[in-house]
Amino acid sequence: MQKRKKLRVGCLALAAACLISMAGAPATALADEASDLANQLQQAEQKKQEAEKELEQAKENSKKEQAVSTALKNDEQALRGQISTIVGQISQKQSEIAAKQNEVAAKQAEIDQKQVEIDQKQAEIDQRWANFKERIAAMQVMQAGGTIAMLGKATDISSFLTYSDNLQEISKYDRQVMDEMAAEKAALQQLQDELQLQKTELETAQAALESQKLNMESQKNQLDATKAALSLQIQAQDEKVSAAAADEQAAKEEYEAAYAIWKKAQEEFDRLANSNPGAAVVGDGTVMWPLPGYTRLSSYFGEDRELWPGYWSNGHGGVDVPAPAGTPIHVFKSGTVYNSYYSASYGNVVMVDHGNGLVSIYAHMTARMASVGSVVNVGDVIGTVGSTGQSTGNHLHFEIRQNGSRVNPLNYISPS
């Protein structure tokens, strides 16, 4: 783009030099100079249009690259939000896991305590069982060889029977105590089993939380990888945006150079148009509105106008009269046609010299119907309405110059 810009600007500078060198051409070569300047003006207009097109393309490309960059950065921001969310979820899961671990530890402590109680109860049972076995053994001895001795000591049958009943009561009590202790141990064992089941459920829940946490960490790792890849993509896109901006700036500079050359060409052509010494007065001075019936003005003399985006024309040199394409345009006053050509800005334009330094100009016409040197009378058709040159729609640009200076046409004729 930079190399192309230098080449274009060089060509435009050469065209400017040609225009400037022609500015001092002899007055006797006025017609030839006008033709040459018209050609130079046309070339300058073409280069300006090409530069303008490239500028618009550069702007569009820059806009597109910027849109891609914005979309990527929005995606990155969304990923940041997702990562932040999942990090929060992982933290929450870690808290839940820690809570479950505490519950498991507490449940294990209860299980351990119940095991101590069971062991204590088992020790009591074992001791009671040992005592019971000793008494049973003693009773068996008594039943085997001690009955005669008991009879010898008994004073009567009642005391013997009472002693026997007492032994039976002792045996019955031991069995009852043993049964109660066994029941207590069984209850403790059942409670321990229930606690173990609760612990198992807590461990299962903890394992599920751990699995969820691992799953979330895996998702986070994937998001981190996606974000890293996206960051590289954004970096590459930022480089494209910078390159597009540089191209746009280069295209802008090229366009400004082309515009400056075109403006200089237009000024040189206008200088030539204003240098005509004037012809004899033709007709009786009668005037008429060049577009009878079309009285609305879309632009007045002296207005500042935006010719195209970013470029303004200070002080409109005439009046604009909207009308359908092809509408006949009448010369407002008798005179001699001293110029009929195509201008980059005026489009198809006819200039009529009315004598005494008064010139009328009719621009943006679809067709020109008057040739240089022909005498026209007020009301003669010299062309048709169009939108050629620097125009935004079908209209007549009607301009009057007095001694080379633009003046308000409404000072000479009113719309009718």
Q: Smallest Cα–Cα separation from 33: which of 349, 276, 390?
A: 276
Per the model's pLDDT, the better-predicted residue between 84 and 17 turns out to be 84
Q: Is residue 413 within 8 Å of 398, Cβ to Cβ?
A: no
3-state secondary structure at position 313: strand
pLDDT tens, residue by residue, 330-342: 999 999 998 888 8
Residue 52 is predicted with a pLDDT of 84
Show the tokens assigned to 252: 């802008």
3-state secondary structure at position 339: strand
Instruction: For residues 79 and 71, give the distance between their C-alpha atoms in angstroms, rounded to a whole number.
Output: 12
Residue 202 is predicted with a pLDDT of 79
Residue 309 is predicted with a pLDDT of 57
Q: Which residue has the tokens 């192309």?
A: 4
Please give the C-alpha separations between residue 225 and each of 12, 81, 86, 231, 257, in angstroms, as whole numbers: 53, 15, 14, 10, 48
Instruction: Read off the pLDDT band of 385 (50, 70, 90).
Output: very high
Residue 27 is predicted with a pLDDT of 37
pTM to 2 decimals? 0.51
Please check the confidence at residue 407 and state whether its pLDDT lies above 70: yes
Handedness of CA 287, 293, 294, 295 (dihedral sign): positive
Mean pLDDT of 398-410: 92
Least confidently predicted of 129-133, 136-140, 293-297: 136-140
Least confidently predicted of 99-108, 206-215, 269-278: 269-278
Specify which of 113-117, 166-170, 177-181, 212-216 reaches the highest per-range mean pLDDT. Answer: 212-216
Buried b or exposed e, range 242-260, using 16+ CB within 10 angstroms:
eebeebbbbbbbbbbbbbb
Mean pLDDT of 199-227: 85
Instruction: For residues 207 and 203, give the distance between their C-alpha atoms in angstroms, rounded to a whole number.
Output: 6
What is the assigned CATH class of domain 278-416?
A: mainly beta
Q: Which residue has the tokens 């173990």?
A: 196
Residue 368 is predicted with a pLDDT of 94
Cβ neighbours of 104 (radius 10 Å): 18
% of the chain beyond a pLDDT of 90: 27
Q: Could you give the dihedral angle defined by the CA atoms of residues 58, 64, 65 and 66, in that order, rounded to the nearest 10 degrees? A: 110
Residue 16 is predicted with a pLDDT of 41
User: Considering all CA atoms of the chain, what is the largest pairwise distance in Å, rounded to the nearest integer?
Assistant: 185
Least confidently predicted of 179-183, 226-230, 232-236, 336-340: 179-183
Instruction: For residues 127 and 119, give the distance between their C-alpha atoms in angstroms, rounded to a whole number.
Output: 12
Residue 339 is predicted with a pLDDT of 86
Q: Smallest Cα–Cα separation from 82: which of 212, 221, 275?
A: 221
Give me the chain's average pLDDT, please.
Answer: 79
Mean pLDDT of 272-290: 64
Residue 18 is predicted with a pLDDT of 42
Q: At what angle do helices 2-22 and 30-141 cross, to 10 degrees?
A: 160
pLDDT tens, residue by residue, 21-73: 443 334 344 556 666 776 776 687 788 778 888 988 999 999 998 999 899 88
Least confidently predicted of 120-134, 194-208, 246-260, 282-296: 120-134
Instruction: For residues 138 and 144, give the distance between their C-alpha atoms in angstroms, rounded to a whole number.
Output: 10
Instruction: For residues 242 and 245, give the distance between their C-alpha atoms in angstroms, rounded to a whole number.
Output: 5
Q: What is the CATH number of domain 1-275?
A: 1.10.287
Least confidently predicted of 127-136, 255-264, 349-358: 127-136
Q: Smallest Cα–Cα separation from 346: which of 326, 325, 361?
A: 361
Residue 145 is predicted with a pLDDT of 52
Beta strand spans in 245-310 (E): 305-308
Q: Where along the chain do its domains lie?
A: 1-275, 278-416
Residue 155 is predicted with a pLDDT of 56
Instruction: Read off the pLDDT band of 384 (50, 70, 90).
Output: very high
Please check the confidence at residue 235 and state whether its pLDDT lies above 70: yes
Show the tokens assigned to 308: 């195209």
Residues 6+ apart with CB under 8 A from 170: 135
Instruction: Read off the pLDDT band of 169 (50, 70, 90).
Output: low
Instruction: Read off the pLDDT band of 322 (50, 70, 90).
Output: very high
pLDDT tens, residue by residue, 62-105: 999 899 989 988 998 998 898 888 888 888 878 888 887 898 88
Please check the confidence at residue 207 and state whether its pLDDT lies above 80: yes
Buried b or exposed e, range 295-329, using 16+ CB within 10 angstroms:
eebeeebeeeeeeeeeeeeeebbbbbbbbeeebeb
pLDDT tens, residue by residue, 353-365: 998 889 999 999 9
Q: Smallest Cα–Cα separation from 331: which of 374, 373, 290, 285?
A: 290
What is the identity of the amino acid at 67? A
Residue 358 is predicted with a pLDDT of 92
Residue 242 is predicted with a pLDDT of 93
